[in-house]
Structure 1
Amino acid sequence: MTDDQQLIEPGAETANPDSRNERREFFKAALGAAAVTAAGASALAIATSASAATIADNDIFVFLCQLDYLAGEYFSFATTGTGLSPALLTGQTADTVGAATGARRVTFTDPVVTEYAAEITRDLVANITYIRAQLGTDGVRSQPAIDLGTSATSAFGKLATAAGIDTAGAFDPYASDGNFLLGAFMIEDVLVTAYIGAITVISDKTLLAAASGILATHAHHAAVIRALLYAKGATTPSLRTSADKISNVRDNLDGTTDLDQGISPTTVSGNLVSNVVPAAPNGSILGRSTGNVLNEYYLNSASVSLGGFFTAGLNGTIKASTAN
């Protein structure tokens, strides 16, 4: 089995954004009023395996740092033309520092997108610096190899093809403001769910506070990206439908539970409502286990240890995705 064998191919569900909205509404209706009760809230909690609960706090932090390298490199290249500082990439001597390949600077045309992207880049660099400081020199692991390319066989290309948003078989997130936002949507939304999952298993209060603070930062980033795509989608509808299709692929990768949401509006009580915040019926954002997070970034619904954006896997103890 190849590492991307389980990547869901485009089909009727990903081709029709309305079906995504219908599935989301069914999910909400199925949960019903009980979802806001204490019992309902526990049912919405992230599913974690028994082994996940015993993972050391430092291992969780290493895992989050590995993921932040992906977002940091993407935004850094897109806004400055260069990747993260080499001083932020090294770790334990046993690690090999992986390169982030295939990225380039975006020629932004919208000053609002330019300014937001620059701010998010600054925040991501600060997040990585902070996490590395929390881990200390003995706990830091090097950046893994990261694929940020634009070919049909790149992570972006495979995800875009599976979503049916690029008929040419490739996707270039550096070609325009809209494409950049879709690339950011592919990465940041999943990061938020990774941090939500992490804070359910971190026991050290200092590390929990650090992870919670960074979670809030990522949530702001994801909301900005979703809001920009939604706003620009008013005049370029394909941005909304493309985000919906990416969301559908993500839902197929991480199992049968409907955890992901696109951005297209729905009608609620006769009123058109946006979907900038992908909230569950109780108003909270759902999280993912470490294995399900890696299903998304490896672009694989099977249990594997590399693929997608991380061509050689992650450095650290947490490496495997979940079999779905």
Structure 2
Amino acid sequence: MNLSPCSIFTPVITLMLLLEVRAMAAAAASSHPYCGPLPGSDVDKVQFAMNLEFLEAEYFLYGSMGKGLDKFAPYLTNGGPPPVGGQKADLDELGFHIIQEFAYEEIDHLRAINETVGGIPRPLLNISKENFANIFDQAVGYKLDPPFDAYANTINYYLASYLLPYVGLVGYVGAEPYLVNFTTKGLVASLLGVESGQDAVIRALLYERGHLKVPPYDLTVAEFTDKLSQLRNRLAMCGVKDEGVVVPTELGAAGKTETNVLSAGKNSLSYRRNPQEILRIVYGTGDEHVPGGFYPHGGNGRIASSFL
């Protein structure tokens, strides 16, 4: 059945409200000491990205196969501790094959970085359902009852996955202009291509179900994506660089569509974030100096460690 997206969805928030959110984020950005690029070598920047690659690898490996890097590629952990709370998700057949592919891609990404610039130890990661539940509570502004369970079913797992590749891809877009070496530029461009693809697949799967309520909550899939994106904008404090899978038409591609399968800004160009913004998001604290969230002890590598 071929249905027009606009015949299915209405914007999850009004244009006026979204513009208000953007204004608040801009005000927060102007009050924060720094939103620009950080000094560091090409190696530092690529190794910073490994923190995100470890997170994605462990979440996708556990979600699809119930085991992590210690089972599939232990040497890539570089001696870092095993993650907390990973478990096999109750995925349908399509979801299993997609997430399993993502998992093996993340192993390859870690291998490529190790071989090109050298690796860092895997940081301690919290991928427990309780941690995801806390993030979803932050996003909606109240405690969900029952708590959100990222591993309970395919839709929940896709929604939790919405939190991961996008943060990595905007980090790669942010790093690329400041790289010097041809080899590292090529590596980051190639990593960015696959991370963007993963995010697009997740967003398309969620958009397809955007009008459906997420049991047992009184929120649709699209509304959850909007709230998660707003949370990331608030935590990063450097303006709006994140949008849900449905937006008001005025903010869609060329101002012509509510569909927002690919998150992008003016002229449909990718948003970019710098390391401090990413740490504020993945720590869940809004402060790159205060670990938490997915990284209870903080990230590894020179850039992440410099804030601790």
| CA–CA distance in structure 1, aligned partners of residues 183 and 36 of structure 2 | 22
Q: Is the 8 A contact 1:299 1:307 kept in 2?
A: yes
Q: Distance in 2 between matches of 1:206 and 1:235?
A: 45
Partner of 2:82: 99
- CA shift in 2, pair 1:303/1:144, >3 Å: closer
Task: Give the 5 Å matches for 1:216-231.
Answer: 216-231=193-208
- Structure 2 Cα separation of the partners of residues 21 and 141 of structure 1: 44
Counterparts of 1:199-218 in structure 2, within 5 Å, are 199-218=176-195
Task: Give 1:185's aligned residue.
Answer: 162
Deviation at 1:219, TM superposition (A): 0.3
Aligned counterpart, 2:129: 150
Matches of residues 78-117 of structure 1 in structure 2 within 5 Å? Answer: 78-84=63-69, 85-90=73-78, 97-109=80-92, 111-117=93-99
Residues 279 and 288, structure 2, Cα contact 8 Å, conserved in 1: no
Report Cα offsets for 1:114-172 as digits up to 9, x if no partner.
Answer: 2221221121111111111112xxx3211000000122xx2x12211111285137331
**Under a length normalisation based on structure 2, what TM-score does the superposition of the two structures give?**
0.82
1:311 paired residue among 285, 296, 299: 296
Aligned residue in 2 for 1:274: 259
The answer to whether 1:122 aligns with 2:104 is yes
Deviates more, 1:70-79 or 1:267-276: 267-276
**What amino acid does structure 2 have at the position aligned with 1:60?**
K
Output the aligned Cα RMSD. 2.6
Find the aligned partners of 2:42 and 2:134 in 1 and give their Cα distance: 33
User: Contact 1:298 / 1:307 at 8 angstroms: preserved in 2?
Assistant: yes
Tell me how far 1:88 sits from its aligned partner. Answer: 1.3
8 Å Cα contact 2:133-2:150 kept in structure 1: no
Change in CA separation of 1:288 and 1:222 when aligned onto 2, cut-off 3 Å = same
Give the whole-Å Cα distance in 2 for the aligned partners of 1:157 and 1:321.
Answer: 29
SS in 2 for 1:18: coil
Q: Letter of the aligned partner of 1:106 in structure 2?
A: A
Contact 2:35 2:238 in 1 (8 A): no
Residues 20 and 181 of structure 1: is their aligned pair in 2 closer, same or farther, counting only changes over 3 Å?
A: farther
Q: Distance in 1 between matches of 2:226 and 2:15?
A: 7
SS of equivalent residue, structure 2 residue 261: coil
Q: Residue 256 and residue 202 in structure 1: after superposition, are their counterparts in 2 closer, same or farther (change >3 A)?
A: closer
Give the C-alpha shift of residue 19 in structure 1.
4.7
CA–CA distance in structure 1, aligned partners of residues 283 and 158 of structure 2: 20
Q: Distance in 1 between matches of 2:292 and 2:21?
A: 32
Structure 2 residue 277 is matched with structure 1 residue 292: yes
State the distance in 2 between where 1:311 and 1:57 align: 26
1:65 and 2:50 matched = yes
CA drift at 1:25 = 9.8
For structure 1, which runs of at least 5 residues remain unmatched after alignment? 1-15, 29-45, 91-95
Count of matched residue positions in the alignment of Structure 1 and Structure 2:
275
Report if the CA contact (8 A) 1:251-1:258 is conserved: yes
Q: What displacement does 1:113 show?
A: 2.1
- Structure 1 residues 321 and 239: CA distance shift in structure 2, 3 A: farther
CA distance, structure 2, for counterparts of residue 115 and residue 313 of structure 1: 31
Looking at structure 2, the residues matched to 194 and 270 of structure 1 have their Cα atoms a distance apart, in angstroms, of 26
* Correspondence for 1:38: none
Give how far 1:87 is off. 1.6
CA contact (8 A) 1:77 1:103 kept: yes
Structure 1 residue 24: Cα displacement: 5.6
Shift of 1:188: 1.4
Corresponding residue for residue 120 of structure 2: 141
